[in-house]
Structure formats: structure tokens, C-alpha cells
Amino acid sequence: MILGIISDTHVYDRADKVPEEVFQHFSDVDLIIHCGDITSECVLEDLRDICKTVAVRGNMDYLDLPREITLNIGGFNIGVIHGDIIYPRGDILKMKYYSLEKNLDVLISGHTHVPLIKKIDIEELNKKILLLNPGSPTVPRGFGKSIMKVEIEDNIIKPTLIPLK
């Protein structure tokens, strides 16, 4: 299973459109996950033209979307949030505790506009948590425009950050 991960597109409030490059990179994915701050339903419509798409509501969204979702893919519990419910923004320790509280193996979030791939080993619980953030394809902060792909196969999760032009 290949996941396409995107966040913070901000179409029409900060960007005119999602770069065409995103659609090319996502042409082979099985599921697209949008981590919020979509700001225009046309973004979800365009992504749904590629394949099944799930999304959470960001702090800038007016769309009727859930604040968090949990998916079970390949035996992994994957949580998806925008990230504004964890303050301060991008706090690794709070994301770790949130993941433990929700019994997640992977937490995918956005909100910071900064990409993140971080593995956390919790030895006392014999557990690993993977924190992922794809950054933003339109309005990045401190890093170039980006999206992410995550391959889940044979009990292995392989995230790949994809820089955009």
C-alpha cells in the first residue's frame, strides 16, 4: 500500500492552486491523506480524481471534516490530525504522548508547514512511534515545498519526503 501525504495547501487564501507536480507524484498511490488547511473543497475534489482521499480539518478550514481520524493499514494504527490541537505547534513530546494515549504506531500531522520524519523508541513499553509531517506544497516555512509518500509492506513503513520545484 502506498499513501500520498499532503498538508497545508491553503488554496485561494495563500496559494492559487496545488502544483501539478503533486498529482504526478500521487499518480501511483492507493490512498491520499490530507492533514488539513485545505481551505478550498476543489483541492479535495482534485485529489479524489486520483484515488480515495481522507482529510482532517485544519484551523483555517470551513469544511465539515473530522478533527482527527484513525486508520488501520497493514496492521499499523495510523492517526491523522492537523496539529493545532497540540500546542505549541510541532511539540515532539506532546505528539509522543498523544500517540501513546491513542495507541498509535504512526502520527501524521501538518500545521507547521515544516516536514518531519522522526522515529521515537519507547523502550520501557517496547514500542516505536513514527511522527510524520509532509510540510506544505504551496507555503513552506524554512524548507522548500514538499509532500510525502509512505509505503507500507511486509510490516515495514517507509516514508519518503518529496521536495517540489
Domain boundaries in the chain? 2-163
pLDDT digits (tens, 9 = 90+) for 139-164: 999 889 999 999 999 999 999 999 99
Would you identify the CATH topology of the domain 2-163? Answer: Purple Acid Phosphatase; chain A, domain 2 (3.60.21)
List the 68-73 sheet strands across, edge first.
68-73, 76-81, 106-108, 127-133, 116-122
Q: Give the integer Cα–Cα distance in Å for 89 and 54.
A: 22
Alpha-carbon gap, residue 72 to 61, rounded angstroms: 25
Q: According to the model, what pLDDT value does residue 89 have?
A: 87
- Which tens digit of pLDDT belongs to each residue from 76-128? 999 999 999 888 888 999 999 999 999 999 999 999 999 999 999 999 999 99
Is residue 22 within 8 Å of 147, Cβ to Cβ?
yes
Average pLDDT, the chain: 97
